């Protein structure tokens, strides 16, 4: 494979750092064109010194000024800021591959820019597909771009599909996609106990090292719900053909069930460098730094059905997928606001799902034909969520 030129959106996050770890192991194959971060200026400066990108992007002018000062002895690195700068480094003609790893709706514009300009998009930002799945997939088809999923579950499904798969399962004999979930830190917790959950407890994932927002989503199972919507977008299947299976060991990352009764699964140690390396090198294979799975040491693998009563966020996601239109974008926006409020101590853990449900019930579902309409649905859901949070019924005050 020819040398790939990379933009890494969200370079200081867990996915970004894992990507750079894999890249550093193969300097002959990869060149870093641009790195972005939100406000972690010092960490981004360290990465710039190590990987020497042409561009670095941060959130605002204040962060950009601080980064320029830290990189004063490296004037060749262009420092930029803001959403438009993210879109520029995602669509730059020099770039062949974009790692889209900005958490939340903030990464949508840049991810779409990469798709529209025919890039090889390594998608770790599930919100791009949850909020604007049809727009994103249409942009890829029209531009000739390539989507390679980075979420361990979707990457596992991708690896379990036949050669020549073209993001449509109608002719592949696939009857079911089975997404596995660890169950999070509260898999065995009583429903009543969830009212006392602290942010620190919710962020203590049993198997994976992740950021705080996605860790809370794993604890509520909303992350799995968003992955159900994402799988529907990527693989072109409806909600009835996507199952969730609780698998506490996180060794089987997902499975594909075929018409002849076969079930193919991808196994490995829970380390995001594996799907990242698979996507970076596809269709080849490269070392990721992850040790092979030792099944003798693992001993046994266990499975459970998800509990939709204790973890209603999963059902909300299925419902939003079936509703279509603006419902997934509303779900995502309301959840982001509710999780932020929980992390700030403004709402209880067990009220996150109820808050999201109230927003979904209050806002009508409408078709989304443009990015402006997607963003309008996102804003409306956020505004309503904040109004509900401010009310005495939904606050801790």
CATH code at position 346: 1.10.1740.10
Q: What's the pTM?
A: 0.91
- Asked if residue 234 and residue 195 are part of one domain, the reply reads yes
- Asked if residue 243 and residue 160 are part of one domain, the reply reads yes
Confidence (pLDDT) at 395: 44
Burial 85-107 (b: 16+ CB within 10 A, else e): bbbbbbbbeebbbbbbbbbbbbb
- Asked if residue 268 and residue 172 are part of one domain, the reply reads yes
- Asked if residue 155 and residue 74 are part of one domain, the reply reads no
- Asked if residue 303 and residue 165 are part of one domain, the reply reads yes
d(CA 39, CA 308): 37
- Domain's final residue, options 150, 171, 187: 150
- Asked if residue 281 and residue 332 are part of one domain, the reply reads no
CATH number, domain containing residue 37? 3.40.50.720
- Domain's final residue, options 313, 333, 351: 313
Let me know if residue 318 belongs to a domain. no
Which residue matches tokens 């959106």? 9
Beta-bridged to residue 146, according to DSSP, are 120
Confidence (pLDDT) at 106: 84
Let me know if residue 212 belongs to a domain. yes
Nearest Cα residue to 291 out of 270, 309, 266? 270
Confidence (pLDDT) at 107: 87
- Asked if residue 287 and residue 172 are part of one domain, the reply reads yes
- Asked if residue 198 and residue 58 are part of one domain, the reply reads no
Cis omega (within 30 of 0) for bond into 283: yes
Let me know if residue 55 belongs to a domain. yes
Let me know if residue 359 belongs to a domain. yes
Let me know if residue 196 belongs to a domain. yes
Separation in Å, CA 287 to CA 20, 207, 269, 278, 389: 13, 22, 14, 9, 47
Which value, in Å, is the radius of gyration of the alpha carbons in the chain?
20
- Asked if residue 308 and residue 159 are part of one domain, the reply reads yes
d(CA 217, CA 318): 15
Q: Block means of pLDDT (10 residues each) for the chain, length 397 residues? A: 90 95 97 96 98 97 98 97 97 98 87 96 90 93 95 95 73 92 92 93 78 90 96 93 96 96 96 97 96 93 96 98 97 96 95 97 95 94 96 52
The boundaries of the domain holding residue 332 are 324-397
- Asked if residue 162 and residue 136 are part of one domain, the reply reads no
- Asked if residue 270 and residue 341 are part of one domain, the reply reads no
Confidence (pLDDT) at 209: 65
Let me know if residue 121 belongs to a domain. yes
Let me know if residue 319 belongs to a domain. no
- Asked if residue 103 and residue 129 are part of one domain, the reply reads yes
- Domain's final residue, options 150, 177, 196: 150
Confidence (pLDDT) at 394: 45
Nearest Cα residue to 111 out of 142, 88, 90, 135? 90
d(CA 387, CA 18): 38
Let me know if residue 218 belongs to a domain. yes
- The total of structural domains in the chain comes to 3
User: Cβ(71)–Cβ(48) under 8 Å?
Assistant: yes
């Amino acid at each position: 494979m020819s040398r790939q030129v990379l933009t890494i959106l969200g370079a200081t996050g867990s996915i970004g750092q894992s990507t750079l770890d894999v890249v550093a192991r193969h300097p002959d194959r990869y060149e870093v064109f641009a790195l972005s971060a939100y406000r972690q200026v010092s960490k981004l400066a360290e990465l710039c010194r190590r990987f020497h990108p042409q561009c670095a992007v941060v959130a605002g002018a204040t962060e950009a000024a601080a980064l320029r000062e830290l990189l004063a002895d490296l004037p060749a690195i262009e420092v930029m800021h803001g959403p438009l700068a993210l879109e520029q480094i995602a669509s730059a003609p020099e770039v062949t591959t974009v790692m889209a790893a900005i958490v939340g709706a903030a990464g949508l514009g840049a991810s779409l820019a990469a798709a529209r300009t025919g890039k090889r998009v390594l998608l770790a930002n599930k919100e791009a597909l949850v909020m604007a799945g049809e727009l994103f997939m249409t942009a890829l088809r029209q531009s000739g771009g390539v989507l390679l999923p980075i979420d361990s579950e979707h990457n596992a499904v991708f690896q379990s599909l036949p050669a020549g798969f073209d993001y449509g399962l109608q002719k592949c004999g696939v009857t079911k996609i089975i997404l596995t979930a660890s169950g999070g830190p509260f898999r065995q917790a009583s429903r009543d106990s969830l009212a006392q959950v602290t942010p620190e407890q919710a962020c203590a994932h049993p198997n994976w090292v992740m950021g705080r927002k996605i860790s809370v989503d794993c604890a509520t199972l909303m992350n799995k719900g968003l992955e159900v919507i994402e799988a529907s977008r990527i693989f072109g299947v409806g909600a009835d053909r996507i199952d969730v299976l609780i698998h506490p060991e996180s060794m089987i990352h997902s499975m594909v069930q075929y018409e002849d009764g076969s079930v193919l699964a991808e196994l490995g140690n829970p380390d995001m460098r594996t799907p990242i390396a698979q996507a970076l090198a596809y269709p080849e294979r490269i070392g990721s730094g992850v040790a092979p799975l030792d099944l003798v040491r693992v001993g046994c693998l266990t499975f459970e059905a998800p509990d939709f009563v204790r973890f209603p966020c999963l059902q909300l996601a299925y419902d939003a997928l079936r509703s279509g239109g603006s419902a997934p974008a509303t779900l995502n926006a309301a959840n982001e606001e509710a999780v932020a409020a929980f992390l700030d101590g403004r709402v209880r853990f067990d009220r996150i799902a109820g808050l999201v449900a109230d927003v979904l019930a209050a806002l009508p579902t409408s078709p989304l034909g443009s990015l402006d309409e997607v963003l309008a649905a996102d804003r409306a859901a956020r505004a309503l969520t904040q109004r509900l949070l401010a009310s005495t019924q939904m606050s801790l005050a």
